[in-house]
Amino acid sequence: MSGEDERSGFVEYGIDDKPPLLTSGLLGVQHYLTMVGANVAVPLILAGALGMPDAIVPRFVGTFFVVSGIATLAQTTFGNRYPIVQGAPFSMLAPALAVIGVVQASNPAGPAWQAALLQLQGAIVVAAVVEVAVGYLGLLGRIRAYISPVVIAPTVALIGLALFNAPQVTAASGNWWLLGLTLGSIVLFSQYLGDRSRAFQLFPVLLGVVVAWVVAAVLSVTGVYTPDTSGFVDLASVAAAPALMPIYPLQWGIPRIETAFVIGMLAGVAASMLESFGDYHAVARLSGIGAPNEERINHGIGMEGLMNVFAGLMGTGGSTSYSENIGAIGLTGVASRYVVQIGAAVMIVIGFVGYFGQLIATIPDPIVGGLYVAMFGQIVAVGLSNLEYVDLESSRNVFIVGIALFAGLAIPAYMGNVGSAAAFREGMAAVAVVGPILGTRAVADTVYVIGSTGMAVGGLVAFVLDSTIEGTRAERGLVEWERATEEDAAFISAFDRFVRGD
């Protein structure tokens, strides 16, 4: 199979296709609606931990939108050129919260929130430079030759399973009627009515969100939903939002660098790279093209590193590939790079215009939960579909996949019960004999962050077992996998395109 020539039948718009501008705009907004919950949740979590003044929070959230849009444009144009959205990473949240806690406990001079944010920025910038080196020196791409579908399947599946217990889905106080309306609308439009109308086929997510949001807004205005009700839409907050917000590099001050914080953030960056590796395979499969070759992976990771440097200078919590919009490709068949770029431009505008950003922020958690079920369920299935290349009659393969999936769910759950990086560090320090080594910040924080990331745990477990348990290349799926990988000529870097004058 040679990449983009072998487009799957369900793909409506391929990677290089350019739908009409209005259609692309709506499709682009749809892509971003699938990830808005996470892209708003991360800055709000950080703002709460920082103790950031309420007046600054809208600008802080807007900065995340701007960084997301610019990073997406950079990745789709100069990076791996996949139709993949970039956004605020959860994988870097744990070390970020650890940095904030340590700085604020040290009684810093000046506003504590600003001092902690500047240390966070410095840690992200330096750790991101390492990510740039890993990408453009080809380190991650070289490993690709040794990774079989036995490893890719549980890694990608765990990306989809990562949010199965998100509070937007499982909270006991959640609004199940609204979540069900969102999910039911998406299923109705994408699966049952998709063949009857092109609008239903292309915009099931957008239509599902709009239907659920309108119902929630009406119930909120009429008083059925109160501010204490899950599903309440606060329209008054939109009118109170600032019209325009100044967003620019170094807006909070000059980043500060401390070695211990950088080491902790490196663990978050490592987990982010592993997650992105799985994302690249998932988006390629849903886009109907061959698995990413070594050069595409390298350019993708390298560009993510550069955008993390940019995110650090802008004062956010980093940037990485987003799994949410990958699921949208599977539901809509829209894998157009152009669509994602149009959506990125919309996100940049939303970041600067307070009204738009706040309007998106009014989407209630139950609606976001419905999106999670639809999007991430799709990714789980995509991950497992990679097993078609391997011999499933082999007990070896079944054992590895099963152990990797279980470990990828159990170990992050254990880390969550531990509670924090500091608590885990304390426990590791108490281990007999090797405690002084395991309890150091560099070791303990790295283990904690990677151990908290399901796809990193599952991927590493599968990789170690697949590499050490005896099995033939055909049994592991490597023979068919190589045939399914895109040819080297399928990816042309931005530099090569410039030299050729493309």
State the DSSP code for 288: T
Hey, is 320 helix, strand or coil?
A: strand
Residue 182: predicted pLDDT: 94
410 pLDDT exceeds 90? yes
CA distance 500 to 491: 14
For the record, the structure tokens of 345 come out as 């431009």
Predicted confidence at residue 3, as pLDDT, reads 42
Instruction: Return the SS3 of 86.
Output: strand
Nearest to 297 by CA among 323, 276, 326: 276
Asked if residue 249 is part of any domain, the answer here is yes
* pLDDT for residue 251: 95
Identify which has the larger pLDDT, 383 or 251: 251
- C-alpha span between 259 and 119 (Å, rounded): 10
Q: How wide is the angle at C-alpha 331 spanned by C-alphas 329 and 333, nearest 5°?
A: 55
Q: Among all chains, which residue has been given the structure tokens 């809208």?
A: 58
Lowest-pLDDT choice from 213-227, 264-278, 416-430: 264-278
Q: Which domain holds residue 270?
A: 3-386
State yes or no: pLDDT of 226 exceeds 90: yes
CB count in 10 Å sphere of residue 340: 28
Domain assignment present for residue 137? The answer is yes
Residue 114, in any domain of the structure: yes
pLDDT at 444 over 80: yes
In DSSP terms, which residues pair with 492 in a beta bridge?
none
Tell the residue number behind the tokens 């254990």, with chain if given: 414
Structure tokens at 18: 């350019």
416 touches 452 (CB < 8 A): yes
Q: Which two tokens stand for residue 25?
A: 């705009």
Instruction: Using a pLDDT cut of 90, give the percent of the chain over it.
Output: 46
What is the arithmetic mean of pLDDT over 235-239?
Answer: 88
Ramachandran quadrant class, 229 (left: phi over 0; alpha: psi -120 to 50; beta: rest)? beta
How far lies 177's CA from each of 228, 233, 365, in Å?
Answer: 16, 15, 12
Q: Is residue 278 part of a domain?
A: yes
Structure tokens at 448: 């904690």
The rounded mean pLDDT for the chain is: 88
b or e along 320-334 (b: 16 or more beta carbons within 10 Å of the residue's beta carbon)? bbbbbbbbbbbbbbb
pLDDT, tens digit (0-9, with 9 covering 90-100), for 157-211: 887 787 788 788 888 888 999 999 999 999 999 889 988 888 888 888 889 989 9
**Does the residue 475 lie in any domain?**
no
- The per-residue pLDDT for 381 is 86
| Nearest by Cα to 91 from 389, 412, 336 | 412
Residue 244 sits at φ, ψ, to 5 deg, of -130, 145
Element (H, E) at 87: strand 86-87
- β-strand partners of 13: 334
- Is the confidence at residue 358, as pLDDT, over 60? yes
Q: What pLDDT, on the 0 to 100 scale, is given for residue 9?
A: 53
Does the structure show a pLDDT above 70 at 312?
yes
pLDDT at 179: 95
Question: Which one has a higher pLDDT value, 340 or 263?
Answer: 340
Residue 74 lies in a domain: yes
Residue type, 448: Y
Q: Which of 98-107, 234-243, 340-349 has the lowest mean pLDDT?
A: 98-107
pLDDT at 361: 77
- Distance CA(20)–CA(13), nearest Å, equals 11
Task: Evaluate if residue 421 carries a pLDDT over 90.
Answer: no
Residue 453 lies in a domain: no
Backbone angles phi, psi at 254, to 5 degrees: -85, 125
Distances (CA, A) of 108 to 45, 55, 95: 21, 22, 19
Confirm whether 501 is domain-assigned: no
Domains identified in the chain, total number: 1
**Which of 137-151, 218-232, 245-259, 397-411 shows the lowest mean pLDDT across its residues?**
137-151
